[in-house]
Chains A and B, each alone.
Chain A
């Protein structure tokens, strides 16, 4: 199985500031034939199911605010929230879909400082 490791486990950021969450995979999730990274990011608010934010490592899902962006390739990825809003308080997960079984990171809890 591909192990996904996120850092940090928790993060406190002031409103309007930048938040950065990292995700590292135990092996590359870059598929050479199409040059796509099989990596997604989700936001999960308390009592709700996860919500897809980013797929293919950097493609924003329809309706997701442009303050959310994804970057990285191969084994190292980053989710950036450019200007933190109060409604962004949540747990964020990365997920690889390069190979079965699909696996998720352990989650990063984002709070307001």
Chain B
């Protein structure tokens, strides 16, 4: 059974870089059969797709593209998110999620989420 778990600092200072990691267990991240996505949700608000990564590339939300970098670490079966120049507007629960390639973009497995607060 595939499971995803987010990890990273819960507090980031304004203008700094937010760094999160998603560890995948029960399956291989290097399989071309899946896409790996970061999604965030400000408290009490809706869901925003930040971007996704797959073995052959990345796709970022244009609204965040200038600040986002995603990468895969196949040796650790992890993928990561870096969001630079953060502000209070980036405070949210950050989720990692999986999509089965070929199914388009429905997210069948999610991590539990990690809360990130941007504050000095």
- A: residues with CB less than 8 A from B are 36, 38, 40, 42, 48-52, 55-56, 61, 93, 95, 97-98, 100-107
Contacts and interface: CB of A to CB of B under 8 A. Distances in A.
B46 A93 contact: yes
B113 A49 contact: yes
A50 B110 contact: yes
A61 B49 contact: no
A33 to B, nearest CB: 12
Contacts of A48: 112
Interface string B20-35: 0000000000000000
B106 A55 contact: yes
B54 interface: no
Contact of B46 (A38, A40, A105): A105
Interface residues of B, number: 23
A40 B106 contact: yes
Contact of B49 (A103, A106, A107): A103
A102 B111 contact: no
B61 interface: yes
Interface in B81-109: 95, 97, 99, 103-108
B47 A100 contact: no
B63 interface: yes
Please give me the 9 A-B residue pairs with the lowest Cβ-Cβ distance, nearest first: A97-B105, A55-B106, A49-B110, A40-B106, A101-B61, A102-B49, A104-B47, A97-B104, A38-B104
Contact of A102 (B46, B103, B105, B108): B105
Contacts of A40: 105-107
